[in-house]
Chain A
Amino acid sequence: MNITTNLEKLKKVISLAEKITGKNNDLPILSSLLLETEKGLLKISATNLELGIILKIGAKIEKNGKIAVPAKIINNFINNFNFINKIQLKSDEKFLNISSNNNKTKIKIISNDDFPIIPQTKKEFLFKIKADILREIINKLNISVSNQDTRLEFTGVNIIFKDNYLELASTDSFRLSKIIIDLNNKEKGSNYKEIIEKKETLIIPFNTLLEINRIIDNNCKEIEFITDQNQIFIKFDNDILLTSRLINGKYPDYSQIIPQKFNTKVNIDKNSLLQAIRLALVFNNKGELNLKIDNKKNQLIINSQEQEIGENKTILEADIQGDNQDIVFNSKYLLDGISVVDSDIVNLKIIDSDKPIIITESNNKKNNFEYILMPIKK
Chain B
Amino acid sequence: MGIFKSKNQQKLNKEDLWKAVLGEIESTVSEAQFVTWFKGTSIIKIENHIAFINVAHGFAKEWLENKFNGQILKALNKYHPEIKNIQCLIDSSKKNITTTKKIDAVVAPKNNSKQATHKNDFFVNYDKNNNLFLNHNFSNLNPRYTFENFIIGENNQLAHAACLSVTENLGTTYNPLFIYGGVGLGKTHLLQAVGNKILENNSLEKKVYYTSSEDFTNEIITSIQNKTIENVKNKYKQVDLLIIDDIQFISGKEITQDIFFHIFNFLYQINKQIIISSDRSPKNISVLEERLRSRFEGGMIVDISLPDLETRIAILKSKIEEKNFFLKDNLIEYIAQNIQSNIRELEGILNKIIAISQLKKINPNLDFIKSILKENINNQKKKGITHKHIIKVLADFYGINENDFFTKTRKKRIAFPRQIGMYLMKTELNASFPWIGDFFGGRDHSTAIHGYEKIKQQLQDDEKLQDDLNYIKDLLYSKK
Contact surface of A with B, Cβ cutoff 8 Å: 25-27, 47, 49, 52, 114, 116-119, 148, 150-153, 171, 173-176, 229-231, 243, 245, 248-250, 252-254, 256-257, 286-288, 330, 332-333, 354-356, 372-377
Contact = CB atoms under 8 A, between A and B. Distances in A.
A174 B93 CA distance: 27
A66 to B, nearest CB: 15
Given A116-B59, A117-B63, A151-B123, A355 B132 contact: yes
B101 interface: yes
A52 B105 contact: no
Contacts, number: 146
B99 A150 contact: yes
Given A117-B62, A119-B59, A152 B97 contact: yes
A27 B36 contact: yes
Contact of A248 (B96, B102, B136): B96
Contacts of A27: 32-33, 36
A230 B58 CA distance: 8
Given A151-B123, A152-B97, A377-B129, 12 more contacts: A26-B36, A47-B59, A119-B58, A229-B90, A229-B92, A248-B94, A250-B94, A253-B204, A286-B111, A286-B112, A330-B109, A355-B132
Interface stretch (B16-24, B113-121, B320-328, B387-395): B113-121
A376 B113 contact: yes
A97 B104 CA distance: 57
B107 A174 contact: yes
Given A27-B36, A148-B120, A257-B136, A229 B100 contact: no
B59 A117 contact: yes
Which of B63, B98, B117, B123 is the most central at the interface, judged by chain A CB atoms within 10 Å of its CB?
B117
User: Chain A at the B interface: mostly helix, strand, loop or mixed?
Assistant: loop
Contacts of B83: none
A176 B66 CA distance: 42
B108 A118 contact: no
Contacts of A176: 105-106
Contacts of A377: 108, 111, 127, 129-130
A174 B122 CA distance: 10
A257 B57 contact: no
A213 B93 CA distance: 29
Given A152-B99, A248-B97, A229 B105 contact: no
A150 B92 CA distance: 19
A257 B106 contact: yes
16 contacts: A26-B31, A26-B35, A27-B36, A52-B58, A119-B61, A174-B109, A229-B61, A231-B57, A249-B97, A252-B102, A252-B105, A253-B137, A256-B204, A288-B113, A355-B132, A376-B109
Interface of B: 31-33, 35-36, 57-59, 61-63, 66-67, 89-94, 96-114, 116-117, 120, 122-123, 127, 129-130, 132, 135-137, 203-204
Closest A-B pairs by Cβ, 9 of them? A26-B32, A119-B58, A117-B62, A374-B108, A254-B105, A230-B92, A330-B113, A231-B58, A150-B120
Contacts of A332: 113
User: Chain B at the A interface: mostly helix, strand, loop or mixed?
Assistant: loop
A156 B89 CA distance: 23
Nearest to B32: A26
A117 B35 CA distance: 17
A330 to B, nearest CB: 4
Contact of B59 (A52, A148, A286): A52
Nearest to B143: A250
Contacts of B58: 52, 119, 229-231, 243, 245
B52 to A, nearest CB: 13
Which of B105, B122, B127, B135 is the most central at the interface, judged by chain A CB atoms within 10 Å of its CB?
B105
B111 to A, nearest CB: 6
A117 B137 CA distance: 43
Contacts of A26: 31-32, 35-36
A373 B109 CA distance: 10
A116 B59 CA distance: 7
B114 A287 contact: yes
A104 B57 CA distance: 41
A256 B116 contact: no
B178 to A, nearest CB: 31
Contacts of B132: 257, 354-355
Contacts of A253: 102-103, 105, 137, 203-204
Contacts of A230: 57-58, 90-92
B410 to A, nearest CB: 63
A182 to B, nearest CB: 24
A153 B137 CA distance: 18
Contact of A254 (B33, B98, B106): B106
B318 to A, nearest CB: 22
Contacts of A174: 106-109, 116-117
A331 to B, nearest CB: 8
Contacts of A117: 59, 62-63, 66-67
A250 B100 contact: yes
Given A26-B36, A174-B107, A252-B104, A287 B113 contact: yes
A332 B109 CA distance: 11
B36 A173 contact: no
B103 A376 contact: no
A257 B91 CA distance: 31
Contacts of A114: 33
Nearest to B108: A374
B93 A333 contact: no
B204 to A, nearest CB: 7
A152 B94 CA distance: 11
Contacts of B120: 148, 150-151
B386 to A, nearest CB: 45
Contacts of B59: 47, 49, 52, 116-119
A245 B96 CA distance: 14
Contacts of A330: 109, 113, 116
B105 A256 contact: yes
Nearest to A114: B33
A374 B107 contact: yes
Contacts of B122: 173
B24 to A, nearest CB: 19
Contacts of B66: 117
A300 B98 CA distance: 44
A42 to B, nearest CB: 21
A27 to B, nearest CB: 5
Contacts of B136: 256-257
Nearest to B57: A245
Contacts of B127: 377
Which of B57, B89, B99, B103 is the most central at the interface, judged by chain A CB atoms within 10 Å of its CB?
B57
Given A117-B62, A118-B62, A176-B106, A288 B111 contact: yes
A117 B61 CA distance: 9
Contacts of B35: 26
A173 B32 contact: no
Contacts of A243: 58
Contacts of B31: 26
A288 B58 CA distance: 45
Contacts of B94: 248-250
Contacts of B99: 150-153, 249
A256 B137 contact: yes
